[in-house]
Amino acid sequence: MNQLFQQVRILNPIKIDDRQKWELIERRADILVIDGVIQEVSATTPLPTDLTITPGEHLILAPGLVDLYSHSGTPGHEERETLESLLLAAQAGGFVCVNILPDTLPALDRVSSIVSLDREYQQIAAQISNCPKLAYWGALTQRVEGKAMTELAELATTNITGWADGNAIDNLALTRRLLEYLQPFNRPIGLYALDRQLRGNGIARAGVAALKYGLPVDPVSSETAALASIIEIVADIGTPVHLMRISTRRGVELIAAAKQRGVPITASTTWLHLIANTTDLITYDPNFKLDPPLGTSDDQIALIEGIKMGVLDAIAIDHSPYTYEEKTVAFGEAPCGSIGLELALPLLWQHLVVSGKLSAIELWAALSTKPAQCLHQSSPTQSILFDTQIAWKVTKNSLKSLSHNTAWLGREVIGKVRL
């Protein structure tokens, strides 16, 4: 079907220098889509006769989104998410590339596992029109348990994005050896800063809300002590690292100081940490149990400012599907994580852009072009058409994901990817 979208708002985040300065190329234009190919039209452009015309007042045409890290149910937990449902959920949410973590079953810690998963992806992708790219983080440690290195050089022969466990590595000496060994490969390395001993049995970030709701507290230092150690190792060795899941104000401050003195790091937070905080735990909804836990309202403000100022480079989705049975338990017993590929863009747009906390370019760059830059990839060449005004209800039928573990289930959301 040929479609003409009239006076669409076009966004294009462009990096203009090496100091992380970005500008927004923004204008309105009539956009013609013929067989999935976009072209701008003028008054003299010949138009097809079989044309559907749609007003574009509330439509945004912009580069497709790139997710830094998420979890796949395949292989090992297909009851949570199949590769097909993951790809369809990503497509519905506007993502043109999803990078999955290696904590599958078996883990992506050997060449055969990656080759096998990639073969399955290629078969499914051939059946999905405009299928998102699925990329893979190779495991840093065996079975992502943080105890012994994988065969890193062998994994480097595959098409992995880079290396990341997605879990914290407790042994700092092992972290140092990993960074020394991987330095010549010049591929992204993702590390999650967490001191498990300091966390103990904590499940809610320390603060008034956690105490009020009677939840075991996770101190800020469980993130920042580990983060400070990683930063010092990176500064000493010089191997660039991407710091995952930053969740506290002090974490943002440590990253800002490290960048100021030239430590080669990039960093990300997750979308839910930008739109929710510990006060949302009043419902004891297990879908708000995350790793790391939601920050305080002050942490949330600092994370948003971190994105705005470029201290935090990107927003990750960390899509974590779980079955109804796994999540429908007491808050303290539930596994950590929530789905997000289909919900992140509309909810971030409403909470951050509509509210004026971030500009359109700041949000879009953090979800699209800057994640690609963190992964040493070129900016997305595919575009998406996002309608900022469509209202839709989050239900099991409206979601493409096989799992429905989200606090927004049954609630109305404004904003949806059209194409």
Together in a domain, 44 and 124: no
Residue-wise pLDDT for 51-103, tens only, equals: 889 899 999 999 999 999 999 999 999 999 999 999 999 999 999 999 999 99
Give the count of alpha carbons within 13 A of 369, CB side only: 22
Give pLDDT tens digits for 141-152. Answer: 999 999 999 999
Q: Does 45 lie in the same domain as 100?
A: no
- The model's pTM is 0.95
Residues 75 and 18 reside in one and the same domain: no
In a domain, 389, yes or no: no
What is the number of domains present in the chain?
A: 2
Asked whether residue 16 is assigned to any structural domain, the reply reads yes
Domain assignment present for residue 387? The answer is no
Same domain membership, residue 150 and residue 12: no
| Confidence category of residue 300, pLDDT binned at 50, 70, 90 | very high
Catalytic residues: 318
Residue closest to 176 by CA, chosen among 161, 187, 165, 191: 191
Question: Do 66 and 188 have their domain in common?
Answer: yes
Q: Please tell me whether residues 151 and 206 are part of one structural domain.
A: yes
Q: Distance between CA atoms of 134 and 67, rounded to whole angstroms?
A: 10
Structural domain containing residue 38: 2-55
Are residues 77 and 49 part of one domain? Answer: no
Residue 390 lies in a domain: no
271 and 144, same structural domain?
A: yes
Q: Is residue 109 part of a domain?
A: yes
What pLDDT, on a 0 to 100 scale, did the predictor assign at position 26?
75
Does 394 fall in a domain? Answer: no
Based on the domain organization, do 221 and 323 belong to the same domain? yes
